[in-house]
Amino acid sequence: MLVVTTIAALRSRREELLRRDTRVAFVPTMGALHEGHLALVHRGRALADEVWVSVFVNPTQFAPHEDFTTYPRDLESDREALERSGAAVLFAPSMREMYPRPSATTIDLAELTVGMCGAQRPGHFRGVALVVTKLLNIVQPDVALFGAKDWQQATVIRRLVEDLNIPTRIEVHPTVREDDGVALSSRNAYLSPPERAAARVLSQALGNAEEAIRAGERRGSVLEALMAERVAGEPLAHLQYAAAVDPDALHPVRIVTGRVLLALAVFVGSTRLIDNLLVEGV
Ligand code: AMP
């Protein structure tokens, strides 16, 4: 596996592959890689000739009070995991390489970011949209893979790629979970053992709401209240939001018809975790 730290070196490698008509699948990450990330790499191998992975903890998507400085970083262990998973290139640029000066350009997908994580983390999706656009322009992949765990992020990216005519296909991979239902996340590393046990409340609350839908409940507000109530029953957990939204437009659903996205953000101790569940065939 090739480890590349500069945009110039990455571009010249990409140009070489374009001449040979070699297809590239791209997986952007912030590192601290786990099986969720590696599932994207695995899927990428089925879709293209080479899988390229970026590891870059993007400062522009963190608010000043958030965990940018403490975010888990272990490039050597990420490199080993990627080597084992068959990735061809690890792109690990420095901050200066990605942002030689502050970006004057803003990409704001207002209508998709007013609710859910967008409401709780102002500016977060502007940071995500900017870095993903830069990375897609740098790598020029045939296909890029994102996880359904970050549903709002995947929706924002699909839309910006469409709006800006970026010639990359976006594929969204299902959330990879531990056996007890907890979604894999780099931030799970922050959890103490009792908090890790409490983190099950997210997938349990989503599961309860799905059961209620299957039993005939259709009111979005009731589903949200049901999830909130389940989270409130866990002493180490503190709800940030519970949402029942249209899976594409992301606006709140008053009455569920067809399909609905159930989504949660919960503080477990001081760690903010998110999870979601798409319920179809309603
Ligand atoms: P991150 O490093 O957290 O920015 O994540 C990089 C990519 O991996 C994003 O597209 C995430 O949605 C995806 N991802 C993170 N956790 C999971 C998971 N448990 N299952 C599937 N994809 C994931």
Q: What is the set of active-site residues? A: 37
* Mean pLDDT, residues 85-98: 98
Q: For the chain, what percentages of helix, strand and coil (3-state, to nearest 5) are there?
A: 45, 20, 35
Measured distance CA(109)–CA(126) in Å, rounded: 8
> What letter would DSSP give residue 60?
G
Q: Which of 26, 27, 34, 40 to mutate to test the pocket of ligand 1 (most atoms within 8 A of CB)?
A: 40
Q: Which atom of ligand 1 is nearest to the CA of 149?
A: 12
The band of 57, judged by pLDDT with boundaries at 50, 70 and 90, is very high
Q: Which atom of ligand 1 is nearest to the CA of 150?
A: 12
Sheet holding 2-4, edge to edge: 2-4, 89-91, 50-55, 24-29, 143-147, 169-173
* Mean pLDDT, residues 251-264: 98
Q: Which of 26, 29, 37 to mutate to test the pocket of ligand 1 (most atoms within 8 A of CB)?
A: 37
Q: Which residues contact residue 155 at a Cβ distance below 8 angstroms, ignoring those fewer than 6 apart?
A: 112, 248, 250
Return the residue whose CA atom lies nearest to atom 14 of ligand 1. Answer: 147
- For 160-207, how does the pLDDT look when each residue is reduced to its tens digit (9 = 90+)? 999 999 999 999 999 999 999 999 999 999 999 999 999 999 999 999
- Give the tokens for residue 221: 């507000």
pLDDT above 70 coverage of the chain, percent: 100
* Mean pLDDT, residues 4-12: 98
Beta carbons of 30 and 54 less than 8 angstroms apart:
no
44 lines ligand 1 (CB under 6 A): no
- Give the tokens for residue 114: 């007013």
Query: Residue 138's pLDDT is what?
Result: 98
Distance in Å, CA 91 to ligand 1 centroid: 17
Query: Residue 217's pLDDT is what?
Result: 98
Least Cα distance to 236 among 201, 185, 188, 263 occurs for 201
Query: Residue 81's pLDDT is what?
Result: 98
Return the residue whose CA atom lies nearest to atom 10 of ligand 1. Answer: 146
- pTM, two decimals, is 0.97
For residue 46, give the 3-state DSSP assignment.
helix
pLDDT above 90 coverage of the chain, percent: 100
173 lines ligand 1 (CB under 6 A): yes
Measured distance CA(74)–CA(31) in Å, rounded: 7
Q: Which atom of ligand 1 is nearest to the CA of 185?
A: 16
Beta carbons of 25 and 50 less than 8 angstroms apart:
yes
* Mean pLDDT, residues 231-254: 98
For residue 113, give the 3-state DSSP assignment.
helix
Return the residue whose CA atom lies nearest to atom 6 of ligand 1. Answer: 29
Phi-psi region of 101 (alpha: psi -120 to 50; beta: other; left: phi over 0): beta
Query: Residue 43's pLDDT is what?
Result: 98
Measured distance CA(24)–CA(107) in Å, rounded: 25
Q: Which residues contact residue 214 at a Cβ distance below 8 angstroms, ignoring those fewer than 6 apart?
A: none
Distance between the two ends of the chain, CA-based, in angstroms?
45
